[in-house]
Amino acid sequence: MSGLRVYSTSVTGSREIKSQQSEMRALAGNPKATPPQIVNGDQYCGDYELFVEAVEQNTLQEFLKLA
């Protein structure tokens, strides 16, 4: 799967969303990662704090793996 994805849900009864949460944690390399997590294709970009830092440092394209 390609494209930019943001995982934003933390509590659910849905099997599909639980599967997506497992995928997000695997991509993040952290079994305890909590949303939001940002992924571009199969490349982990980072969490919300890293996103804000990239915006502040004007490095958003690099953070999102678009440059």
How confident is the model over 20-61, as pLDDT tens digits? 889 989 999 999 998 889 999 989 999 999 999 999 999 999
Domain count, the chain: 1
Q: Is 39 helix (H, G, I), strand (E, B) or coil?
A: strand
pTM over 0.85: no
- CATH number (domain holding residue 39): 3.40.30.10
The distance of Cα 16 from the centroid of its chain, to the nearest Å, equals: 17
What is the spatial distance between Cα 32 and Cα 52, in angstroms, rounded to a whole number?
A: 21
Domain that holds residue 54: 4-63
Give the mean model confidence (pLDDT) for residues 1-12.
75
Q: Is the dihedral of CA 58, 48, 44, 1 positive or negative?
A: negative
The distance of Cα 23 from the centroid of its chain, to the nearest Å, equals: 10
Sequence-ordered strand ranges (E) for the chain: 4-7, 37-40, 43-47
